[in-house]
C-alpha cells in the first residue's frame, strides 16, 4: 500500500492532533526528543484511587502515565441513560472485562439542572458515586461535561430553561457564558476531587464541548481557561469535526472524521509539537429513528447487521494503522432515552448496536471489541508505531498497512479485505524466508505481527491475530484468534530443542531449523492449546488458539498478586486472590466449564461464593470438575387487574384553569420571532420545558369563524390536537411523521378529516400533516357550523412537543420556540385570552425530564401507591376493537404485578406492546412513577421497552401506568401488553432499589 505524506502525518499524529498539554500547569509540554526516552514496555498497572501523585503526559505516539506508555481503549457509557446506580457497577464491570481500560463519561447538563443556578448530583445523578465506582473497577475516566454534548439528547444536552433565559443564542453571548461557567463550576467541583494526577480518583482526561471551525477560538479558549481555573490538571481536549476528512470507512490515507485535539492556550499553530493520535469518537452504531428510517420496522436488526463484528474490526484496526492510540468507542453500553431525554433522531431505545445491549446482555459485536482491547492492553509494541516499507499482498483485493516498533523490532500488519468475497492470499513478512498465506472472509480485517517478543521467546510470525500475552506465575500465556474453521499458523524462534506438548487433539506442530511451526483449525473442538517448554527459556509458554466464540469467553484479569486468565463463563467480574485461594465472581448464562490459569501459589477457588472442586490440567490450569450451572427458569406473571380512566377534562369549557399561567408576555427570551399581533405562547418563556402542554383560549364571539389555524413547533413526531367547546376538531402532525407509520385507518382508509379546500367531510375529527421540515408547522381545523355562534367559547389545545433540536450552543437551536406560536381564525378576529399549563414541576427524585403536563401526571396517576377509585373502571386488555368508540385524547390504564426473581439471578425484563399498526395511538410507559418510554403504535419500530432493575422491583410489587393518547380517527389501544424476559444470568451485582416515591 502506497503511503502519502498525509498518511505519514496521520501515523505520526501531526495531522490528527493540535496542541500538546502537560499534566499540570507548570510542566512543559513533552518534546519530540523527550518521547524517544520513553521506551516500549508494559503499560502502567490498572488505575486506583491510591492517594499517590501521578503524571499524565503524551507525546507523538501515546499517552505516558507515570513514565509508561498507555494505549487508551475507552468505552463510552451514559449513566443518565441508566437511571439505576446499582447497575452502573454492572455496566462498568462489563466494560472493563470486555477489554476497555477506560470509560468515557458524558455529563448531561439537562439531566442535572432543573432551573438556572440549581444543580443536582444526588440519587440517579450522583456523579461522585459513578467516579468512585469507576476507580473501584480500575477504569480510567475520560470526563466529558459538555456543556453541549450532542449525543442524541434533547437540545444536545443543554437544559430546556436556557430557552427561557435572557441573552442571545451565540456561544460568545455573555449571558450564555455565565450559565456555562456556572455549570462547569458545579461539575468541576466534583471532577477535581477524582483526578488521577492527585491519586484521588481515576479521571485521566477531560473533554469539553464538541466544536468545529465555525466556533470561535475565543470560545474554546474561554472553556479551557475556565476548567484550568477550576483546578482541572489532567490533559484537556475537545473533538473537532473536520468536513474535509475521509468517510467513516477509512483507508490508510484518511484522517478520522471525529478527531480529538489536545488544547493549550499559548502555543502557536506553527510550533505544535507532535502529539498522540486521538479518536474522540468511534461510532460503533447509529440510533434508530421513529419509523425506522430506511430500514423500516426491522431497523434494530438492520443496525446490528451493519455494525457487526466485521465492521468493528475493519474500522478499529484501520485506526490502529493510522497511528491512533487514544480511542473512544461510542457506545460500550447504549441505554434508554427514558422520560424526555432523547434527541429528535432516536426512539426510546438507545441500543446503538453497542457491545452490551440495552438489556445489558453481550452482543455478537462484543467479541471484536474484546479481542482488540485485550490486545492493545497486553501487547505494548502497539503503543509506539512508525510507518514502515510498503508491503503488498498477492491479491490486490487485500490492502496491507505496515508499521514497525523501532524499540522492539516487531512488525505490525493490518490486512483488509475490501471485497465481498472470501480471499486467500500470500504476502511476505519481515523475517520470513517464505511468503505466508492468510484467508480473510468478506470485508474482514485482521492484525498480524512478526518479530513480537512473547516473554523470552520471539514470534517469527502468525497468521492469527494476537489477543493477549500475560506472564502468569512461572509461565507465559499467549492467545491468538481468527475465524472459525480457518487453519492458522504460528512460527516461534527456538534456539534450542523445546519440549512441545499438544494439549488438545486439533493442533499440530513441527520443529525445523530452530523454528517451531504450530498449525490448528480454529473452533473445531474448542480451544487448541500447545505447551512449549525449554528451547532456550526457563519459562514455559502456553499457546492458545481460539475462534471468535471461544475468545469471547476468555477473561484476563490483573491483580496485585499477579495476572489471571479465566476461560468458560459468560463474564468474569472480580478476581480476589488470598493466600493459596482465589474468589471469582461473574455471570453464567449457559452451562459451562471453568478453567483458571493463576499464579503458582493458588490452588483453590470459589465461584460466586461457592467452593469449586478443581483439578490441575497439563496446561497448569485449575479446571472445575463440574460445570457451572445455568440460571434457573424465571417465570413472569401475566398482567391483569387493569383499571381505566379517561382524562383531558381541560377540553371541557367548564374546566377551572384559574391557576394556570396567563400568556401575557409580549417579548420572548428565545430566538423565534413573536408573530405580529400575537401574545407570546412559547412554552419555555413560561417555565414549561418538557412533556405535554395544554392551552386554553377564551373568546367572546365565534360568528364567521370558518376555521382556526394553529401554528406550532413540536419536533419530529410532535403533534397538536384541538377542541372547541369540548368538541374535537382534529389532530395534526408533519407529513414525514405520518409517512413513517404503518398505515392510517384501521380499515385501510385515511380515517376521515378535512378536505383540501377546508370543507368538513363529515367525520368527528381530522388528522392532518404539516409541511415538511423540522421548524414551525400550521394546523387548520374547520369550525363546526353549529359552534359559529355569539357568546363565550373555549378553544382547548394539547401540544405534544417531542425532542428539541440538537444544534450546538453556538448555533442557538436551543433557543427555538416550543408549543403554540400563533393562533388565527379564518373569517373572524376574536380577541383570545390564553392560559397554559405544563408539568407541575421537576420531580425531586426523578428529575426534570421525567414528567410532562398531562392531567393524570399533574394528579399523580403515574405514581405508585393507591389512587382514588372514583372514576376508575375495571377493564381487560387488549382493547381497541373495531366496534370500540373512537376518542380523541388521553386514557389512563393502571395495573400492578409482583416479581420474585431469585437473588442469585440477574434477570432483565421488558414490556412488550403489540397491536394492529393501523390504530393511531401512542403510549407513555410509567413504571413505579418512572417514565421509561414512548410507544407509537402506528409508527414504530420499537415494541419492547427495557424495565431497568432497581426501578423494576425484581423481588417486590410494581405499579405500571400507561397514558394512551389517541387521535380519534381509529380505535385506540392498548393492544396486547405483556412482560418479556430479555435475558438472565446466574450472577449479577448487588441491587439497591431506586427511590420511587408515590402519591
Provide the pLDDT for residue 30: 33
10 Å CB burial of residue 790 (0-12, 13-18, 19+) is: exposed
Encode burial over 575-605: b for 16+ CB neighbours within 10 A, e otherwise.
Answer: bebeeeebbbbbbbbeebebbbbbbeebeeb
Nine cell digits for residue 548: 471468535
Residue 270's pLDDT is 34
For the stretch 428-472, pLDDT in tens is 999 888 899 999 999 999 999 999 999 999 999 999 999 999 999
Helices 366-378 & 309-321 angle (0-180, nearest 10): 30
Kindly state the greatest CA–CA separation across the chain: 107
Residue 814 confidence (pLDDT)? 81
Indicate whether 11 pLDDT > 70.
no
Residue 890 has pLDDT above 60, yes or no: yes
Q: What are the pLDDT digits (tens) for 784-803?
A: 999 999 999 999 999 999 99
Cα–Cα dist 430/14, whole Å: 27
Q: How confident is the model at residue 491 (pLDDT cuts 50, 70, 90)?
A: very high
Cell, residue 138: 480500575
pLDDT of residue 532: 97
Residue 542 pairs with which residues in a beta bridge? 477, 531
Q: Which cell numbers hold the place of 283?
A: 461510532
Task: State what percent of residues in the chain have pLDDT above 70.
Answer: 87
| pLDDT of residue 483 exceeding 80 | yes
| Own/partner long-range contacts of 654-658 (Cβ < 8 Å, ≥24 apart) | 655/696, 655/796, 657/696, 657/835, 657/837
Give pLDDT, residue 746.
31
Nearest-angstrom CA–CA distance, 278 and 238: 10
CB proximity list for 271: less than 8 A, separation 6 or greater: none
Report pLDDT digits (tens) over 97-110: 999 999 999 999 99
What's the pLDDT at 393? 97
What does the chain come to in residues? 999
Angle between helices 174-191 and 217-229 (to 10 degrees): 40
Count of C-beta atoms within a 10 Å radius of residue 345: 15
Per-residue HEC secondary structure of 244-278 comes to: CCCCCCCCCCCCCCEEEEECCCCCCHHHCCCCCEE
pLDDT of residue 272: 44
- Assess contact for 350 and 337: CB atoms under 8 A: yes
pLDDT at 868: 86
Contact 891, 645 (CB under 8 A): yes
Q: Which three cell numbers stand for residue 809?
A: 450552543
Q: Give the residue among 645, 640, 642 at the shortest CA–CA distance from 855.
A: 645
Q: What pLDDT band is residue 880 in, cutting at 50, 70 and 90?
A: low
Per-residue model confidence (pLDDT) at position 274: 59
Residue 109 and residue 157 in contact, taking contact as beta carbons nearer than 8 Å: yes
Whether 17 has a pLDDT exceeding 70, the answer reads no
* Residue 850 predicted with pLDDT over 80: yes
Which runs of consecutive H residues, i.e. helices, occur in 323-477? 366-378
Q: Please state, as a whole number, how many other Cβ atoms lie within 10 Å of the Cβ of residue 560.
A: 8
- At 813 the pLDDT is 79
pLDDT at 450: 97
Residue 46, all three cell numbers? 490498572
pLDDT tops 60 at residue 255: no
**pLDDT over 80 (residue 756):** no
Environment class of 703 (CB within 10 Å of its CB; exposed 0-12, middle 13-18, buried 19+): exposed
Q: Residue 221: helix, strand or coil by DSSP?
A: helix
pLDDT per position as a tens digit, 500-523: 999 999 999 999 989 999 999 998
With CA atoms as reference, report the closest residue to 360 among 992, 987, 994: 987
Per-residue pLDDT band at 539 (split at 50, 70, 90): very high
Task: Tell me how far apart the alpha carbons of residues 410 and 379 are, in angstroms, rounded to a whole number.
Answer: 11
644: enclosing H helix or E strand: strand 643-646
Q: What Cα–Cα distance (Å) separates residue 421 from each residue in 316, 417, 443, 444, 869?
A: 21, 8, 8, 10, 66
Tell me what pLDDT residue 610 has: 97
Per the listing, cell 467479541 goes with 367
* Pairing of the two strands 203-212 and 236-241: parallel
Q: Is the pLDDT of residue 2 over 80?
A: no
Instruction: List C-alpha distances in Å: 115 to 52, 162, 165, 372, 899.
Output: 38, 9, 10, 43, 37
For residue 82, the model assigns a pLDDT of 98
Q: Cell 479481542 identifies what position? A: 371
Predicted confidence at residue 150, as pLDDT, reads 86
Using only the alpha carbons of the chain, give its radius of gyration: 31
Check pLDDT > 50 for residue 762.
no
- Listing DSSP states for 767-832 in one string gives EEEPPSSSS-EEEEEEPPGGG--EEEEEEEEEEE--PPP---TTTTGGGS--EEEEEEEES-----
Q: What are phi and psi of 8, to 5 degrees?
A: -60, -35
Residue 252 is predicted with a pLDDT of 36
Per-residue CA distances from 705 to 780, 781, 783, 784, 827 (Å) = 12, 11, 7, 9, 5
Could you tell me if 259 and 275 are in contact, meaning their C-beta atoms sit under 8 angstroms apart? no
For 246, 382, 619, 766, 936, the CA distances from 839, given in Å and listed in that order, are 45, 53, 64, 27, 21
**pLDDT digits 0-9 by tens, 566-619:** 999 999 999 999 999 999 999 999 999 999 999 988 999 999 999 999 999 999
pLDDT at 398 over 80: yes
Higher pLDDT, 461 or 760: 461
pLDDT at residue 197 in the model:
97
965 pLDDT tier (thresholds 50, 70, 90):
very high
Cα 78 to Cα 103, 329, 574, 994: the distances in Å are 10, 12, 23, 17
Q: Provide the pLDDT for residue 759.
A: 32
Of 472, 647, 447, the closest CA to residue 566 belongs to: 472
Q: Is the model's pTM score more than 0.75?
A: yes
What is the mean predicted confidence (pLDDT) over 264-283? Answer: 56
In this prediction, what percent of the chain has a pLDDT beyond 90? 78
- Average pLDDT, stretch 777-789? 96
Mean pLDDT along residues 207-216? 66
First and final CA of the chain: distance in angstroms?
68
Looking at per-residue pLDDT, the higher value among 305 and 166 belongs to 305
Confidence at 265, pLDDT banded by 50, 70, 90: very low
**Residue 764 grid coordinates:** 368527528
Average pLDDT value over all residues in the chain: 88
Q: At CA 732, angle to CA 727 and CA 736, rounded to 5?
A: 165
147 preceded by a cis bond (ω within 30 of 0): yes
pLDDT at 215: 57
Whole-angstrom distance, CA of residue 835 vs CA of residue 794: 11
pLDDT tens for each residue of 285-323: 899 999 999 999 999 999 999 999 999 999 999 999 998
pLDDT on residue 973: 87
Of the candidates 350, 970, 340, 156, the residue with the CA atom closest to the CA atom of residue 718: 340
pLDDT on residue 431: 84
pLDDT in tens, 620-670: 999 999 999 999 999 999 999 999 999 999 999 999 999 999 999 999 999
* Helices (H), ranges, 17-101: 32-35, 85-97
Amino acid at each position: 500500500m502506497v503511503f502519502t505524506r498525509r498518511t505519514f502525518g496521520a501515523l505520526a499524529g501531526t495531522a490528527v492532533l493540535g496542541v500538546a498539554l502537560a499534566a499540570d500547569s507548570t510542566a512543559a509540554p513533552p518534546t519530540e526528543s523527550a518521547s524517544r526516552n520513553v521506551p516500549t514496555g508494559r503499560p502502567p498497572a490498572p488505575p486506583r484511587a491510591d492517594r499517590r501523585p501521578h503524571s499524565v503526559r503524551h507525546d507523538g505516539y501515546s499517552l505516558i502515565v507515570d513514565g509508561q506508555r498507555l494505549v487508551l481503549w475507552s468505552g463510552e457509557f451514559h449513566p443518565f441513560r441508566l437511571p439505576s446506580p446499582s447497575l452502573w457497577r454492572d455496566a462498568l464491570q462489563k466494560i472493563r472485562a470486555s477489554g476497555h481500560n477506560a470509560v468515557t463519561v458524558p455529563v448531561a447538563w439537562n439531566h442535572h439542572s432543573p432551573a438556572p443556578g440549581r444543580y443536582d448530583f444526588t440519587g440517579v445523578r450522583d456523579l461522585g458515586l459513578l467516579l468512585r465506582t469507576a476507580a473501584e473497577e480500575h477504569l480510567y475516566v475520560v470526563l466529558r461535561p459538555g456543556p453541549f454534548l450532542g449525543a442524541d439528547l434533547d437540545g444536545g444536552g443543554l437544559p430546556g430553561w436556557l430557552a427561557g433565559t435572557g441573552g442571545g443564542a451565540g456561544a460568545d453571548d455573555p449571558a450564555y457564558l455565565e450559565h456555562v461557567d456556572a455549570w462547569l463550576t458545579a461539575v468541576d467541583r466534583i471532577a477535581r476531587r477524582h483526578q488521577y494526577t492527585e491519586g484521588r480518583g481515576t479521571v485521566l482526561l477531560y473533554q469539553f464541548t464538541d466544536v468545529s471551525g465555525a466556533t470561535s477560538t475565543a470560545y474554546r479558549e474561554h472553556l479551557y481557561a475556565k476548567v484550568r481555573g477550576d483546578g482541572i490538571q489532567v490533559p484537556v481536549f475537545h473533538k473537532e469535526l473536520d468536513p474535509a476528512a475521509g468517510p467513516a470507512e477509512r483507508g490508510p490515507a484518511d484522517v478520522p472524521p471525529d478527531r480529538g485535539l489536545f488544547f493549550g492556550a499559548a502555543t502557536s499553530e506553527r510550533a505544535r509539537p507532535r502529539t498522540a493520535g486521538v479518536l474522540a469518537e468511534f461510532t460503533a452504531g447509529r440510533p434508530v429513528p421513529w419509523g425506522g428510517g430506511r430500514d423500516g420496522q426491522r431497523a434494530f436488526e438492520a443496525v446490528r447487521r451493519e455494525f457487526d463484528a466485521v465492521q468493528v474490526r475493519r474500522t478499529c484496526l484501520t485506526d490502529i494503522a493510522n497511528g491512533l492510540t487514544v480511542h473512544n468507542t461510542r457506545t460500550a453500553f447504549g441505554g434508554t432515552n427514558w422520560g424526555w431525554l432523547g434527541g429528535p433522531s432516536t426512539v426510546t431505545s438507545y441500543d446503538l448496536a453497542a457491545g452490551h445491549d440495552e438489556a445489558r446482555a453481550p452482543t455478537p459485536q462484543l467479541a471484536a471489541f474484546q479481542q482488540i482491547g485485550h490486545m492493545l492492553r497486553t501487547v505494548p509494541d502497539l503503543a509506539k508505531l512508525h510507518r514502515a516499507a510498503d508491503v503488498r499482498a498477492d491479491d490486490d483485493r487485500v490492502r496491507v498497512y505496515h508499521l514497525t516498533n523501532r524499540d522492539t523490532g516487531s512488525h505490525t500488519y493490518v490486512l483488509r479485505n475490501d471485497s465481498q468475497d472470501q480471499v486467500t492470499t500470500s504476502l511476505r513478512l519481515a523475517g520470513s524466508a517464505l511468503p505466508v498465506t492468510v484467508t480473510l472472509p468478506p470485508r474482514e480485517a485482521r492484525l498480524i505481527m512478526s518479530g513480537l517478543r512473547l516473554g523470552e521467546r520471539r514470534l517469527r510470525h502468525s497468521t492469527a491475530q494476537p489477543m493477549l500475552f500475560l506472564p502468569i506465575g512461572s509461565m507465559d500465556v499467549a492467545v491468538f484468534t481468527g475465524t472459525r474453521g480457518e487453519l492458522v499458523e504460528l512460527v516461534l524462534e527456538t534456539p534450542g530443542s523445546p519440549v512441545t506438548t499438544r494439549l488438545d487433539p486439533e493442533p499440530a506442530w513441527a520443529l525445523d531449523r530452530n523454528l517451531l511451526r504450530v498449525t490448528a483449525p480454529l473452533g473445531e473442538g474448542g480451544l487448541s492449546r500447545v505447551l512449549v517448554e525449554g528451547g532456550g527459556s526457563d519459562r514455559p509458554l502456553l499457546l492458545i488458539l481460539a475462534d471468535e466464540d471461544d475468545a469471547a469467553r476468555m477473561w484476563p484479569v490483573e491483580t496485585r498478586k499477579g495476572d489471571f486468565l479465566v476461560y468458560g463463563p459468560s463474564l468474569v467480574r472480580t478476581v480476589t486472590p488470598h493466600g493459596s485461594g482465589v474468589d471469582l465472581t461473574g455471570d453464567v448464562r449457559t452451562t459451562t466449564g471453568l478453567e483458571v490459569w493463576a499464579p503458582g501459589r493458588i490452588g483453590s477457588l470459589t465461584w460466586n461464593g461457592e467452593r469449586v472442586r478443581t483439578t490441575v490440567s497439563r496446561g497448569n490450569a485449575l479446571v472445575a470438575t463440574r460445570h457451572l450451572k445455568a440460571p434457573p427458569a424465571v417465570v413472569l406473571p401475566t398482567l391483569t387487574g387493569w383499571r381505566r380512566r379517561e382524562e383531558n377534562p381541560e377540553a371541557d369549557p367548564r374546566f377551572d384553569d384559574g391557576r394556570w399561567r396567563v400568556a401575557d408576555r409580549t417579548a420572548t427570551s428565545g430566538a423565534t420571532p413573536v408573530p405580529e399581533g400575537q401574545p407570546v405562547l412559547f412554552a419555555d418563556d413560561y417555565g414549561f420545558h418538557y412533556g405535554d402542554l395544554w392551552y386554553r383560549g377564551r373568546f367572546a364571539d365565534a360568528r364567521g369563524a370558518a376555521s382556526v389555524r394553529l401554528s406550532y413547533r413540536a419536533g419530529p413526531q410532535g403533534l397538536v390536537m384541538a377542541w372547541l367547546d369540548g368538541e374535537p376538531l382534529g389532530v395534526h402532525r408533519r407529513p414525514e411523521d405520518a409517512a413513517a407509520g404503518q398505515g392510517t385507518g384501521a380499515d385501510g382508509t385515511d380515517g376521515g378529516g378535512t378536505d383540501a379546500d377546508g370543507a368538513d367531510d363529515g367525520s368527528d375529527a381530522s388528522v392532518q400533516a404539516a409541511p415538511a421540515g423540522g421548524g414551525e408547522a400550521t394546523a387548520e381545523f374547520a369550525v363546526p357550523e353549529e359552534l359559529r355562534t355569539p357568546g363565550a367559547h373555549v378553544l382547548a389545545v394539547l401540544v405534544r412537543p417531542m425532542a428539541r433540536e440538537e444544534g450546538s450552543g453556538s448555533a442557538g437551536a436551543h433557543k427555538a420556540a416550543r408549543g403554540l406560536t400563533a393562533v388565527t381564525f379564518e373569517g373572524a378576529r376574536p380577541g383570545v385570552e390564553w392560559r397554559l399549563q405544563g408539568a407541575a414541576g421537576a420531580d425531586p427524585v426523578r428529575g426534570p425530564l421525567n414528567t410532562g403536563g398531562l392531567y393524570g401526571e399533574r394528579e399523580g396517576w403515574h405514581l405508585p401507591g393507591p389512587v382514588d377509585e372514583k372514576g376508575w373502571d375495571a377493564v381487560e386488555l387488549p382493547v381497541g376493537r373495531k366496534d370500540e368508540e373512537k376518542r380523541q385524547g388521553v386514557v389512563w390504564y393502571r395495573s400492578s404485578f409482583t416479581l420474585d426473581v431469585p437473588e442469585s439471578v440477574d434477570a432483565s425484563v421488558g414490556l412488550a406492546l403489540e397491536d394492529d399498526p393501523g390504530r393511531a395511538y401512542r403510549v407513555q410507559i410509567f413504571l413505579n412513577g418512572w417514565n421509561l418510554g414512548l410507544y407509537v403504535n402506528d409508527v414504530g419500530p420499537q415494541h419492547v421497552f427495557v424495565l431497568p432493575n432497581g426501578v423494576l422491583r425484581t423481588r417486590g410489587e410494581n405499579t405500571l401506568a400507561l397514558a394512551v393518547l389517541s387521535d380519534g380517527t381509529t380505535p385506540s389501544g392498548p393492544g396486547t401488553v405483556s412482560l418479556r424476559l430479555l435475558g438472565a444470568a446466574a450472577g449479577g451485582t448487588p441491587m439497591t432499589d431506586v427511590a420511587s416515591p408515590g402519591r
